[in-house]
Amino acid sequence: MSISLDSIQRGAQNFPPRYILLGVPKVGKSTFAAEWPSPVFLPIKGEEGIDALDTPRFPTLQNFDELMQALGSLAEGDTEFKTIVIDSISALEPVVWDHTARKNDWYTDGKPDVDKKGYGKGYVAALTYWRQLMDVLDYLRTEKGIASVLIGHVKTKKIDDPMLPQYDSWVWDIQERAASSLTKWADAVHFARFKNHVKAGDDGAKGKAIGGHVRELHTQARPGHPGGGRGQWGHIPETMPLSYEALRKEIAPF
């Protein structure tokens, strides 16, 4: 391709979003993703979040090659689907590690071992395959107009902030290098949880956390949880119901 002043383009481009949804267990992450436009699920082995959902899906994907084959089938021809849902990235991580070890011939006692080289080299090597995934999703986004929703689970982690006392936060439960790479790639990272409150104790007693059934979607990062987005995704309400209909009202159509 020849690059010149004539190749300069103007105007915003409204591509479908690259969206990451993290959340606590049983909050309804898969159900939320199923509300997106014309979704198709790519279920990863070890994840049963969509068993009760009446939504189009590929067979449970057992390895990384099957995942890429499923995505390739969407890239090869016309498709009715407008949203790809990978459920979940947390379940996909050991699949990526297994693939990385096999490609590099790293085995311990006859089993693929991503830690074979030590010093975190296996996790660095695994980024090659995470990037392959992101590249294919980007192609489907720009050439086919298909959004991506990546579902992830969370864990709690002690955070050492030089400007604050140590505190606990929800973080993605995958390896930090992969989490960082995927987070930078995404247009938005949102966090789903149940709305809780603290009931004051009697006579100075310690308060008690009370759980509820109201599901919330948090769109911006806070000390206790991840979040954030670029462009329009950085200018939507900080908290809203965990509902695609509620989210759709805040973003431009895609």
Please check whether residue 35 is in contact with residue 241, taking contact to mean a CB–CB distance below 8 angstroms: no
pLDDT in tens, 121-158: 999 999 999 999 999 999 999 999 999 999 999 999 99
pLDDT in tens, 32-84: 999 999 999 999 999 977 888 999 999 999 999 999 999 999 999 889 999 99
pLDDT at 5 over 90: no
| Mean pLDDT, residues 186-196 | 94
* Other beta carbons within 10 Å of 98: 18
* Other beta carbons within 10 Å of 249: 11
Domain extents in the chain: 18-189
pLDDT at 201 over 60: no
Q: What is d(CA 34, CA 29) in angstroms, rounded to the nearest whole number?
A: 9
- Beta bridge partner(s), residue 39: 83
Please state whether beta strands 111-112 and 107-108 pair in parallel, antiparallel, or not at all (unpaired): antiparallel
Give me the pLDDT at residue 52, please.
Answer: 84
Q: Hey, what CATH topology would domain 18-189 get?
A: Rossmann fold (3.40.50)
Percent of the chain with pLDDT over 70: 92
pLDDT at 91 over 70: yes
Please state whether beta strands 197-199 and 215-218 pair in parallel, antiparallel, or not at all (unpaired): unpaired
Give the C-alpha distances (Å, rounded to integers) separating 51 from 48, 57, 88, 182: 6, 10, 13, 26
Run of H or E including 152: strand 147-159
State CA 225 to chain mean position distance. Answer: 14
**Residue 233, helix vs strand vs coil:** helix
Please state whether beta strands 215-218 and 188-194 pair in parallel, antiparallel, or not at all (unpaired): antiparallel
pLDDT at 209 over 90: no
pLDDT at 205 over 60: no
Give me the pLDDT at residue 200, please.
Answer: 56
Amino acid identity, position 22: L
